[in-house]
Amino acid sequence: MSRLVLELETILQNLLVEHRKLLKLVEQHESAIRAMDLKGMDACASQQEAARLRVAALNNQRISVVQQLVRTMRIDLGPDGLTLKRLAELHPPRRAALLKLRDELREVATAISNRTKVSGRVTRAVLGHLNMAVRLLANAVERAGVYTRQGVTRMPRRIGAMEAIG
C-alpha cells in the first residue's frame, strides 16, 4: 500500500517536471511567434507535442496506480471519485508531500493555460493581419490595369477597406 503511494508520488514529481518543461516550451513558442521565427515556432511545436505525449503517458501511469490503490485499500470512490486530497488524508505520513505536489502541479498547469491563451491571441492577430495583406494583394492583382504609354499598369492610388474586404 505505501509502495503504491510512493510510486504515485514519484509519478506526480515526474508530471511536475514535464509540466515545467512544457511551460518553458510554451514561453519559447510565444517568443518565436512574436519574432516571426518560423523555424523556432516549428521546433517548439514539435517539442511541445513530445512533452504532451510524455505527460499523457505519465497520466496513464497515475491512473493505473490510483486504481491499484483503490483495489488494495477498498476505498469507496463516492460521487466525486478519489481526489488527491482524500488520498492524502488516508496516508498521513505522505500527506504534506502529496498536497504540495498537487498545489505545484495546479500552479504550473494554470500558468501553461494562461500562456497558451496569450499565444493564441497573438497568433490570431498575426493571422488576421496576414489575411488582410493577402486579400489586398489578391484584390489588386485580380483587376486588370490600364496600361500607359510607358507599358506600366495604372492602378488606383489607394485600396480602401471596402475594396479589400470584397
In tens, the pLDDT along 51-99 reads 999 999 999 999 899 888 888 877 776 666 777 888 888 888 888 998 9
- CA distance linking residue 77 with residue 69, whole number of Å: 11
pLDDT tens string 121-139: 877 887 888 888 888 777 7
| pLDDT bracket for residue 117 (50, 70, 90) | confident
Contacts of 45 (CB under 8 A, 6+ apart): 29
**Higher per-residue pLDDT: 16 or 149:** 16
Domains defined along the chain, listed by start: 2-122 (1.20.58)
Distances (CA, A) of 13 to 17, 28, 105, 133, 150: 6, 23, 9, 47, 73
Contacts of 133 (CB under 8 A, 6+ apart): none
pLDDT at 146: 64
